[in-house]
Chain A
Amino acid sequence: MLMHLPVLVVLAPLLAAPIVALMRGATWPWLLSTLVSWFALLCAVLLLIQVQAEGVIIYTMGGWEAPWGIEYRIDFANALLLVLITGLASVVMPYARLSVEQEVGAERSPMFYAALLLLSLGLCGMTATGDAFNVFVFLEISSLATYTLIAMGRDRRALTASFSYLVMGTIGGTFYLIGIGLLYVMTGTLNMADLAERLPAISDSSTVRTGFAFIVTGICLKLALFPLHLWLPNAYTYSPSAVTALLGATATKVAVYILIRFVFTIFGPEYSFGAEPLAEVLIPLAVIGLLSASTVSIGQPNIKRMLAYSSVAQIGYIVLGIAMGTAMGLTAALLHVFNHGLMKGALFMTLGAVMYRMGGTNLSDMQGLAKTMPLTFWAFVIGGLSLIGVPLTVGFVSKWHLILAAIELGWWPVVIVILAGSMLAVVYVGRVVEAGFFGEARDPTRREAPASLLIPVWILIFANIYFGIDTRLTVDIAEAAAAQLMAGGVVR
């Protein structure tokens, strides 16, 4: 069985999803999805251990060797991401039961859990596969699941949010497809490793250049790089809480991973940063996006929306790390992918608990939370500190590396931008904490959220602290992954 781990991560939820969809009631679909998610997490963790022990794992689908068959290729970078996705799914699933019962309703539960499974398997598939077209397939699976899930939000604006994401997401997907189509024309292969081998010889052709432009633009739309982020705030704000948690923590991160894969493995850093204006395009956008989205966050009355804009800002940090084009920058980006997943997952889930008790996530709902819902409130505080980057949280670890990378290049203005972003985070997190700590509760009789919501939240909060103190796992893996990626191309 250990041999089949790479495909099991994807296959298990894929098989379970139709069964879940056919079930009745709310409990059984939930139970099965939760168990399947846990199984996927187990597989992902085993995979990571295997990669650490043996190096890159290559799995050929059905025994068909690439380029005829599809191959899955697991190295440090995607093993780490698989753990993040399946880990978040494993925490969100048990959390979802009460939250979904209230926000979506019992009768639609089977559909909901089936879609959630499809979302997580789509994301896992994009991450695990070594085939560029297969990425597109899974991208569409996860996107379609996402459109469905967003539309299930209680607010009626969820429908327009879902529709506009559908249009924009499809454009992103199509751009990507056009891009790999162009590459296929030139190289005759869709296998990533083969692409990496064949591209250098023909990289001067304008077809390849155009392919590069389409792919990067398409992915940047999916990862919500400023100013292509306009679909994100509404999509996050109006989806059900459990969906926002999973989306916010993982969806854009997988797109980031695909970008990294193309820039470093397939095109190679020399081409991407030498022949293509990648740094020149990404750095200004990342910097402006980081400052602009953080500032927008400050004024948002709805905290869920505030965190959505903050996610756009965090994408700015990640893209900044990628655009530096150095091993240290890439390490920082990978670290922040993982760490931001932990913090945003925790924060969105905390808001879900607030939603469950208060019926909304506006600043006014957060008033006096320290007294009425202390565990929820302190979870938000710790998650917020992590978002700011306070020492002993994961946020500190990734920002530390990002600043280190900037100093290494001598980019002092960028250092200042990163720190300015942290200051803005202090303001937007601070106003929520202030309202919760000093504000008067609207209804002092409201009680603490139920344990089935709080336990998953606190698991993630502890993860935020644990990985902030014990950095061996994350930093070492991110460094190893960055080294693998910088080496470029094929690791046979």
Chain B
Amino acid sequence: MTISELMFPPAFIMILGAMLLPVVRASFRPVLLVLVPLLTLLMIWNLDDGVLLTARFLGYEVELVEASNVRRLFATIFALMAMIGGFFAFQHARVVEMSASMAYAAGAVGVSFAGDLITLFLFWEFMALFSTVVVWCGGTEEARRAGIRYGIMHLIGGIVLKIGIEGVAVQTGSIEVQALMLDSFATWMILIGVLINAAAPPVSAWLSDAYPEASPTGSVILSAFTTKTAVLALLLLFPGQQVLIWVGLYMIFYGIIYALMENDMRRILAYSIVNQVGFMVVGVGIGTELALNGVAAHAFSHIIYKALLLMSAGAVIVQTGKRKCTDLGGLYRTMPVTAICGTIGALAISSFPYTSGFISKSMISQSAAYGELAFVWYGLVAASAGVFLHAGIKFPWFVFFQKDSGLRPKDPSWNMQAAMIIFAVACVLLGVFPSLLYQFLPYEVTYVPYTADHLVTQLQLLLFAGLAFFVTLPLMKRTLTISLDIDFFYRKLGPKLWKSFVHWLVVLNGLFQTLVIDQGKRLPQLWIRYHGPDGPLARTWPTGSMLLWVAVMLVVILIGARLL
């Protein structure tokens, strides 16, 4: 497709789809849900590289569509996710949710192809708006509150990003999306704005706060877009920025620790999103070709298996109405399809050989090894074991196996099953034939995942992690029977270092809670008192008092002119 033929960005197809969804007949909706992303995919794959569509906005020449390998890859998985996620949802979700999800996905596709910072920002805010609606569609009081907190968080993130972008626009005169140097206030603001969407510290909590409160179908959709567009933005704007390595490592361990202590199965998976995105952030921080390839590949495969895991969790919630691990168990008897698909997802997230996680995550850790970042490499390997513990074993074990909970739910509706099977097959296919994915990565891939060395290491790792899980099973269980008891966790695991680490993590998180979430309720009392409905500033004042102000202003201007 040449420039002249391109009339509109690919995202517009999905925006149109989102607008059509509420007005078409219910029976036509599933068709639309599949057809619209399919058309988008078709368009995405017909885009040549380079800037394809520009427009004039705010006095700048904005690049609405700029295509490249990595952008196309991200857009592809976003469109794919919208399709399968929509198909998974169509029998259960409200129309508002389906429509908002489609618009949300459109925003993600739009960000993928944004050639300049303004376009990026526009679609960024578009996503924030509609993802908030998706959270609200959870329909409960918790969802309403979580949605408000989520909205405020993203509003702040958007504002920070906006300041950064305007600063860069003023200082450099260029709004191009390109690798930026962290040498000014403005670029730092952009980095922080993007990191907020990536659920980086100290605001990681917004993710696990909001996603589990959405509807069972909504959280599947939510898991895919916001954090991964942030990863793409980091990849395009800040490749090789050292600070990201530390941010990412923090996220990895934050995710693992909180997931291990959690009882709500969707919340476990939400923490594990933070953890997985942490891997990607580390990869961007390392910044070599291998690492960036790894980031792109891992984002792709992570979206698939995380959606698969959340689909299986969603199916369980739809069928049983329960969401706590302690209430569930033994479901494999009556929900075999869900159990198998969920387990495949769990294996994939643990990087089990011949699953998609194995061929993508290892690229990142390998790049740490090549880059002689020994500490980082150790961290990533240790974390891999942690991932297996919390998401790979804990989730399927307590939900589908373990003791019999007495529940006898059936497998969910056919479309949910079909969606799960498609993604489960995708996990395995990518694992067995890595070249399917490798050929679309930003740089040429020389990396070979299936070496004897790699296989053995990974299997050993998983074996010992698995062993550790079942040895400490009584401990794992105890954390589940009671509400979160952090004391227990760090008393058992002994060393003081560990204790203070966890402590600070919790303190930081609590600080965020009080600083951002609770602060809305505690604006300075004085200000409120003066500005409340009965405060002096809101009253009707006598005319004379305003005359006084008029006189004061007149005098100030007169005297001021003398002083100047």
Count residues of chain B with CB under 8 A from any CB of chain A: 48
B57 within 8 A of partner (CB): yes
- Within 171-218 of B, Cβ neighbours of A (below 8 Å) are at 185
The distance from the CB of A285 to the nearest CB of chain B, in whole angstroms, is 8
Q: How far is the CA of A15 from the CA of B532 in the complex (A)?
A: 46
Question: What are the residues of chain B within 8 A of A231 when measuring CB–CB?
Answer: 546
List, sorted by A's number, 12 A–B pairs whose CB atoms are closer than 8 Å: A168-B547, A171-B547, A212-B557, A230-B546, A234-B540, A275-B564, A296-B537, A299-B528, A392-B122, A400-B162, A404-B169, A419-B159
A423 within 8 A of partner (CB): yes
Contact present for B543 and A423 (CB under 8 Å): no
The distance from the CB of A321 to the nearest CB of chain B, in whole angstroms, is 15
A403 within 8 A of partner (CB): yes
Q: Which of A171, A276, A438 contacts B564 (CB 8 A)?
A: A276
- Within 78-103 of B, Cβ neighbours of A (below 8 Å) are at none
The distance from the CB of B53 to the nearest CB of chain A, in whole angstroms, is 15
Q: How far is the CA of A220 from the CA of B557 in the complex (A)?
A: 12
Contact present for A295 and B125 (CB under 8 Å): no
Interface size bucket, A side?
35 or more
Contact present for B58 and A230 (CB under 8 Å): no
Q: How far is the CA of A415 from the CA of B166 in the complex (A)?
A: 11
Question: What are the residues of chain B within 8 A of A228 when measuring CB–CB?
Answer: 546, 549-550, 553
Q: What is the 8 Å Cβ interface bit string for chain A, positions 265-292, against chain B (1 contact, 0 not)?
A: 0000000001111101100000000001
B538 within 8 A of partner (CB): yes
A472 within 8 A of partner (CB): yes
Q: A171-B550, A213-B554, A391-B121 are in contact. Are A276 and B543 (CB under 8 A)?
A: no
Q: A397-B58, A407-B170 are in contact. Are A281 and B557 (CB under 8 A)?
A: yes
Q: How far is the CA of A422 from the CA of B550 in the complex (A)?
A: 28
The distance from the CB of A329 to the nearest CB of chain B, in whole angstroms, is 13
> A404-B166, A472-B56 given. 6 additional CB < 8 A pairs?
A212-B561, A214-B554, A292-B531, A295-B537, A296-B531, A438-B144
Question: What are the residues of chain B within 8 A of A298 when measuring CB–CB?
Answer: 531
Question: What are the residues of chain B within 8 A of A210 when measuring CB–CB?
Answer: 558
Question: What are the residues of chain A within 8 A of B155 when measuring CB–CB?
Answer: 423, 426
B126 within 8 A of partner (CB): yes
Q: Which of A276, A299, A472 contacts B560 (CB 8 A)?
A: A276
The distance from the CB of A338 to the nearest CB of chain B, in whole angstroms, is 15
- B contact residues vs A (CB 8 Å cutoff): 56-59, 121-122, 125-126, 129, 144, 148, 152, 155-156, 159, 162-163, 166-167, 169-170, 185, 520, 527-528, 531-533, 535, 537-538, 540-541, 543, 545-547, 549-550, 553-554, 556-558, 560-561, 563-564
- Within 171-223 of A, Cβ neighbours of B (below 8 Å) are at 171-172, 175, 209-210, 212-214, 216-217, 220-221
Question: What are the residues of chain A within 8 A of B546 when measuring CB–CB?
Answer: 168, 221, 227-228, 230-231
Contact present for A277 and B122 (CB under 8 Å): no
Main secondary structure of the interface of B (DSSP, over half): helix
Report how many A-B pairs have Cβ atoms within 8 Å: 130
| Closest chain A residue to B162, Cβ basis | A403
Contact present for B560 and A281 (CB under 8 Å): yes
A55 within 8 A of partner (CB): no
Contact present for A299 and B543 (CB under 8 Å): no
Q: How far is the CA of A280 from the CA of B128 in the complex (A)?
A: 38
Question: What are the residues of chain A within 8 A of B166 when measuring CB–CB?
Answer: 400, 403-404, 407
The distance from the CB of B228 to the nearest CB of chain A, in whole angstroms, is 21
Q: How far is the CA of A209 from the CA of B560 in the complex (A)?
A: 10
A359 within 8 A of partner (CB): no
Q: How far is the CA of A277 from the CA of B129 in the complex (A)?
A: 43
Question: What are the residues of chain A within 8 A of B560 when measuring CB–CB?
Answer: 276-277, 280-281
Q: How far is the CA of A400 from the CA of B557 in the complex (A)?
A: 30
The distance from the CB of A356 to the nearest CB of chain B, in whole angstroms, is 25
Question: What are the residues of chain B within 8 A of A230 when measuring CB–CB?
Answer: 540-541, 545-546, 549
Contact present for B550 and A296 (CB under 8 Å): no
Contact present for B557 and A299 (CB under 8 Å): no
The distance from the CB of B96 to the nearest CB of chain A, in whole angstroms, is 11
A408 within 8 A of partner (CB): yes
Question: What are the residues of chain B within 8 A of A140 when measuring CB–CB?
Answer: none
Q: How far is the CA of A303 from the CA of B535 in the complex (A)?
A: 17
Q: A213-B557, A275-B564 are in contact. Are A167 and B537 (CB under 8 A)?
A: no
Q: How far is the CA of A280 from the CA of B553 in the complex (A)?
A: 12
Q: What is the 8 Å Cβ interface bit string for chain A, positions 396-407, against chain B (1 contact, 0 not)?
A: 010011011001
Q: Which of A275, A391, A430, A475 contacts B561 (CB 8 A)?
A: A275
Q: Which of A276, A472, A479 contacts B557 (CB 8 A)?
A: A276
A25 within 8 A of partner (CB): no
Q: A295-B527, A296-B535, A296-B537 are in contact. Are A471 and B564 (CB under 8 A)?
A: no
Q: How far is the CA of A272 from the CA of B126 in the complex (A)?
A: 42
A300 within 8 A of partner (CB): yes
Q: A292-B537, A407-B166, A438-B144 are in contact. Are A391 and B547 (CB under 8 A)?
A: no
Contact present for A220 and B527 (CB under 8 Å): no
Contact present for B163 and A415 (CB under 8 Å): yes
| Closest chain A residue to B141, Cβ basis | A438
The distance from the CB of A473 to the nearest CB of chain B, in whole angstroms, is 11
Contact present for B564 and A217 (CB under 8 Å): no
A390 within 8 A of partner (CB): yes
Question: What are the residues of chain B within 8 A of A475 when measuring CB–CB?
Answer: 58-59
Q: How far is the CA of A471 from the CA of B563 in the complex (A)?
A: 42
Q: What is the 8 Å Cβ interface bit string for chain A, positions 405-427, against chain B (1 contact, 0 not)?
A: 00110001001000100110011
A301 within 8 A of partner (CB): yes
A248 within 8 A of partner (CB): no
Q: How far is the CA of A281 from the CA of B148 in the complex (A)?
A: 38
A233 within 8 A of partner (CB): yes
Contact present for A277 and B554 (CB under 8 Å): no
The distance from the CB of A205 to the nearest CB of chain B, in whole angstroms, is 11
Question: What are the residues of chain A within 8 A of B527 when measuring CB–CB?
Answer: 295
Q: A171-B547, A300-B538 are in contact. Are A471 and B561 (CB under 8 A)?
A: no
Question: What are the residues of chain B within 8 A of A299 when measuring CB–CB?
Answer: 528, 531-533, 535, 538
